Amino acid sequence: MKNLTEVGICLQLGINVNYVGGPGIGKSAATDQLCELLGMYQRTVIATNYQPSDFNGLPGLVQKDGEVYCKLIPNEWAIDVNNHLAQGQRCAVFFDEFCNAAPSVQGATLRGIHDGHWGDLLLDRKMCTYIIAGNPMELSAGGFDLSAPAANRFAHYECVPNPEYWIH
């Protein structure tokens, strides 16, 4: 893929990336390989499989010191990433198929992508970078444009296949 050097620099600097390209050209595979090359733990989250509450946290009762209160419980993927961060490992959360996620789902990710809050769990933004990937609207299966608030949280790159990489 072209732009991999630029995307790699963004990931090393903690700059979130939006990767747009045609279906089946290797966006996910390139992201996997790039994160591996950079020594980052990568967790893929298929955005279309989630509801807004999955990102904002599911309400749950918690008992602590004899008191019962409501807490916004984060999804399993956020807990997994937090465990890797706790071990000092840089992480990338890869929201695949982001353009096909409903606007309410995309909107629910804004706080977490901006400041690392997923429910009541705070992921360290200095150690965790976010990547979204999707297809251009004309090639998308019922996709949605990014809202301005979402678009402002990312560096944008077009994912263009490089035949030289495929040949070698």
Per-residue confidence (pLDDT) for residue 74, from 0 to 100: 96
pLDDT tens for 30-57 read 899 999 999 999 999 999 999 999 999 9
| Half-sphere CA count of 68, side-chain side, radius 13 A | 3
Per-residue confidence (pLDDT) for residue 167, from 0 to 100: 62
Whether 76 has a pLDDT exceeding 90, the answer reads yes
Per-residue confidence (pLDDT) for residue 1, from 0 to 100: 64
Whether 78 has a pLDDT exceeding 60, the answer reads yes
Percent of the chain whose predicted confidence (pLDDT) is above 70:
95
How many Å is the maximal CA-CA distance in the chain? 64
Average pLDDT over all residues of the chain: 91
Q: Are 143 and 15 in contact (CB under 8 A)?
A: no
Residue 13 CA, distance from chain mean position: 16
More confident residue, 142 or 126: 126
Residue 44 β-bridge partners: 94
Whether 73 has a pLDDT exceeding 80, the answer reads yes
Residue 67 β-bridge partners: 64
Question: Which pLDDT band, with edges at 50, 70 and 90, does 22 fall under?
Answer: confident
Per-residue confidence (pLDDT) for residue 23, from 0 to 100: 87
Residue 92 β-bridge partners: 42, 129
Q: Are 22 and 139 in contact (CB under 8 A)?
A: yes
Whether 77 has a pLDDT exceeding 60, the answer reads yes
Selection from 105, 109, 134 nearest residue 119 by Cα: 109
Task: List, as one string, the DSSP characters of 44-70.
Answer: EEEGGG--HHHHH-EEEEEEETTEEEE
Place of tokens 């904002």: 56
Whether 168 has a pLDDT exceeding 60, the answer reads no
